[in-house]
Amino acid sequence: MSTFWHLLVWSCVVWYGTVTLLVAVRGWKDIVAMLRRLRDGEE
């Protein structure tokens, strides 16, 4: 069981690090697009 948790800890570090970078870039684009759509909808 110890090996399972060891692997899971490193999987978390790698997955979380990758997702943080991805979301930092693509999430920002999502915000800009969302606010643009809301502004266009108002106009």
Q: Per-residue contact track with another protein, 5 to 24, x per CB under 8 A?
A: xx-xx-xxx-xxx-xx-xxx
Apex 33 CA angle, 29 and 39, nearest 5: 145
What's the closest the beta carbon of residue 43 comes to another protein, in angstroms?
Answer: 11
Rounded Cα distance, 31 and 37, in Å: 10
Helix (H, G, I), strand (E, B) or coil at 43: coil
43 binds another protein (CB under 8 A): no
The residues that touch another protein, with contacts defined as CB under 8 A, are 1-2, 4-6, 8-9, 11-13, 15-17, 19-20, 22-24, 26-31, 33-35, 37-39, 41-42
